[in-house]
Chain A
Amino acid sequence: MYLTADAVEWTLAQPMPDPSIVVTGASLTPFNRRKDGSGFRDWAFEAFTSALAMSGLVPGDIDEMYLASESDFFSLQLNPASILASEFGLHDIAATRCEGGGASGQIAVHAAVRAISSAAARHVLVVGVDPSASSLSGDAMRELYGFSFDAWTDGMNGVTATALYALSYLAFAARYGTTDADLAHVTHQNRTNAGRNPGAHLRRSDSLAEIAESPIISNPYRRLHCAPLSDGAAALILSRGDVVPPARRGASRVAGIGASGDHMHLGARRDPGMFQAKTRAMQRACADAGVTPDRIGLAEVYDAYAGAQLQGLVGLGLTEKPGRDTASGVFAADGRCPVNLSGGLMGQGAPVGATGVAQTATCALLLEGRYHAELQPDRLPDYALADTHGGICTTAAVTILQRGRA
């Protein structure tokens, strides 16, 4: 097709669209083990309709949809993006599934950002959902997760996610000198936050003694150092800045995104204890946002295990003294940079595909001052960070949000 001179002039005469990307809708269902007969299609629909209502948009405004869902084994539903798009009344838009293990949700957020940045879409729906708790037995889930690393090496060895994370953490602890007391601090802090989150899976505040006496799963990890697998969904609607409904113009914006990978084999990494993919992802997101890590005022950090949070804080450049800064309250609810106010994966729970979407939605709600009242900080920071990874930080994806201006 050839453009006429008039057509070119017409194209050039259009005002440049606002390049900012605004979080117009954000919603999470409760995370837990569902016993009410509902299924993942119900949770996804609930998250979608709630986010849509917040946005002030109607289904016909949505140009594209990205679905994060980790595994067909959980839902026994291949091609779930088309199923859910149809249920949402969005059967005539592009619906794409994103999968990157535990990072699936954040990868879907990034895909949506790129769809808007490339001018392919104005309003994009992101949904994350997985029935990670109620579909299969714990033993079946453990075996499946063994194959989420290299199936021909780690998977066939029978090594579990907990054992791999434990080996990585032991290497980290040997370098940073972190102790069981530091693992207990992280566990206690996240679960205490979860106790104030009405949508959290584990609303319990275990004492340090209870944590220290819980059964060993894979040393140094005890049962209470581990995140539960959950059922649930989360949804976001991202919109190009110039088409945001008036009521949502003060909402938070995507300031920067970054992603990276690492060797799939823990032993092939220069230091198996360091989350280097997270460092590269954060550097890219910070460059995209034009900020440095010290500008981050709150963060949702991927804490599949207590030690993974300590490793993550270092990888993200938020501290070089993870044990000391956690114990002294830097990352506490009233600290300089609250981490996992939601309770994190350890407290709020982990419906895997929903996790990254939920972390970003949580950051957006916190920056708007509309999060759960008991957890909402009085002072709103300028920037918030959603950090997600898959594998033993084999796939890392982070998003930095900026508080909107009313």
Chain B
Amino acid sequence: MVSHRLTLDYDLHPGWLAPFVEGLVAGRAMARACTACARTSFPPQRTCDCGETSADWVALSGLAEVRFRTRGADGDFGLVAFEGADTLAVVALDGLSDGAKTGHILASGGPLARMAVGDLENRAAP
């Protein structure tokens, strides 16, 4: 056996996703609203299900309703519906209280732009 350590330092560029990524860092849910059918996606879809590629960036309230929740050794995650979005989102549930049905998007604390939802009182300042 040969042991080898490879360290990789990436510079990743979000491209068209920049408003979404910058929103997560600041604790804002930036969604895409289709200019043809108004379907609003979060996380954002580049091409709407109707086929339209033109869309406007819109800021959602950040409130999220938990539809399904899983927890265990891998962490606490949920499939949630953000207020104003027509799609669901998979998010990390960071400290969301047991039994809580709603939460609020959190500002990313680390170097990665995370979609995370926590208790309402922990929301980012507007």
Q: Give B103-122 interface residues, CB cut-off 8 Å to A.
A: 112-116
A78 within 8 A of B: no
User: If the complex has contacts A157-B116, A218-B72, are A163 and B14 also in contact, measured as CB distance less than 8 A?
Assistant: no
**Nearest B residue to A156 by beta-carbon distance?**
B112
Number of A-B contacts (CB under 8 A): 105
Q: Give B65-105 interface residues, CB cut-off 8 Å to A.
A: 67-75, 77-79, 87-92
User: If the complex has contacts A157-B91, A157-B115, are A219 and B78 also in contact, measured as CB distance less than 8 A?
Assistant: no
User: Which among B68, B87, B113, B114 is the interface contact of A265 at CB below 8 angstroms?
Assistant: B87
**Nearest A residue to B4 by beta-carbon distance?**
A76
B74 partner residues in chain A, CB cutoff 8 A: 142, 159-160, 162-163, 217-218
Minimum CB–CB distance for A174 against chain B, Å: 8
A167 within 8 A of B: yes
Cα(A265)–Cα(B71), bound, Å: 20
B1 within 8 A of A: yes
B38 within 8 A of A: no
A404 within 8 A of B: no
B45 partner residues in chain A, CB cutoff 8 A: 265, 268
Tell me whether B90 and A154 are in contact (CB under 8 A).
Answer: yes
Cα(A126)–Cα(B67), bound, Å: 42
Residue-by-residue, is A143-180 near B (CB-CB < 8 Å gives 1, otherwise 0)?
00000001011101111101110110011001000000
A167 partner residues in chain B, CB cutoff 8 A: 68, 70, 77-79, 90
Cα(A164)–Cα(B49), bound, Å: 22
B43 within 8 A of A: yes
B71 partner residues in chain A, CB cutoff 8 A: 216, 218-219
B21 within 8 A of A: yes
B6 within 8 A of A: yes
B36 within 8 A of A: no
User: If the complex has contacts A218-B74, A219-B72, are A152 and B92 also in contact, measured as CB distance less than 8 A?
Assistant: no
Tell me whether B73 and A157 are in contact (CB under 8 A).
Answer: no
B37 within 8 A of A: no
Tell me whether A267 and B87 are in contact (CB under 8 A).
Answer: yes
User: Which among B17, B41, B115 is the interface contact of A268 at CB below 8 angstroms?
Assistant: B41
Cα(A287)–Cα(B81), bound, Å: 37
A154 partner residues in chain B, CB cutoff 8 A: 90
Tell me whether B92 and A157 are in contact (CB under 8 A).
Answer: yes
Residue-by-residue, is A204-221 near B (CB-CB < 8 Å gives 1, otherwise 0)?
000000000001111111
**Nearest B residue to A151 by beta-carbon distance?**
B12
**Interface size of A by Cβ–Cβ distance < 8 Å?**
32
Q: Give B14-32 interface residues, CB cut-off 8 Å to A.
A: 14, 17, 20-21
Cα(A188)–Cα(B74), bound, Å: 23
Cα(A159)–Cα(B75), bound, Å: 8
User: If the complex has contacts A167-B78, A272-B79, are A157 and B72 also in contact, measured as CB distance less than 8 A?
Assistant: no
Minimum CB–CB distance for A74 against chain B, Å: 12
A142 partner residues in chain B, CB cutoff 8 A: 74
A266 within 8 A of B: yes
B20 partner residues in chain A, CB cutoff 8 A: 152
Tell me whether A221 and B91 are in contact (CB under 8 A).
Answer: no
A164 partner residues in chain B, CB cutoff 8 A: 77, 90
User: If the complex has contacts A167-B78, A266-B88, A268-B41, are A218 and B115 also in contact, measured as CB distance less than 8 A?
Assistant: no
Minimum CB–CB distance for A103 against chain B, Å: 20
Tell me whether B73 and A215 are in contact (CB under 8 A).
Answer: yes
A166 partner residues in chain B, CB cutoff 8 A: 70, 77
B73 partner residues in chain A, CB cutoff 8 A: 215-218
Interface centre among B17, B69, B74, B78 (most CB of A within 10 A): B74
Residue-by-residue, is A190-216 near B (CB-CB < 8 Å gives 1, otherwise 0)?
000000000000000000000000011
User: Which among B6, B67, B114 is the interface contact of A157 at CB below 8 angstroms?
Assistant: B114
Tell me whether B72 and A266 are in contact (CB under 8 A).
Answer: no
Minimum CB–CB distance for A277 against chain B, Å: 15
Cα(A171)–Cα(B71), bound, Å: 15
A290 partner residues in chain B, CB cutoff 8 A: none
Cα(A251)–Cα(B29), bound, Å: 57
Q: Give A67-119 interface residues, CB cut-off 8 Å to B.
A: 76
A246 within 8 A of B: no
A37 within 8 A of B: yes
User: Which among A153, A158, A160 is the interface contact of B43 at CB below 8 angstroms?
Assistant: A153
Cα(A297)–Cα(B72), bound, Å: 38
Tell me whether A272 and B72 are in contact (CB under 8 A).
Answer: no
**Known contacts A76-B6, A152-B113, A156-B112, then 9 further A-B pairs from the complex at CB < 8 Å, ordered by chain A residue:** A152-B43, A157-B77, A157-B91, A159-B90, A167-B77, A216-B71, A266-B88, A267-B89, A268-B45
When A and B form their complex, which 4 residue pairs have the shortest distance between CB atoms, in order from nearest?
A: A267-B88, A156-B112, A216-B72, A166-B70
18 residue pairs A–B, Cβ–Cβ below 8 Å:
A76-B6, A150-B43, A152-B21, A152-B43, A153-B89, A153-B115, A157-B77, A159-B92, A163-B72, A167-B68, A167-B90, A217-B73, A265-B43, A265-B90, A266-B90, A267-B43, A268-B45, A268-B87
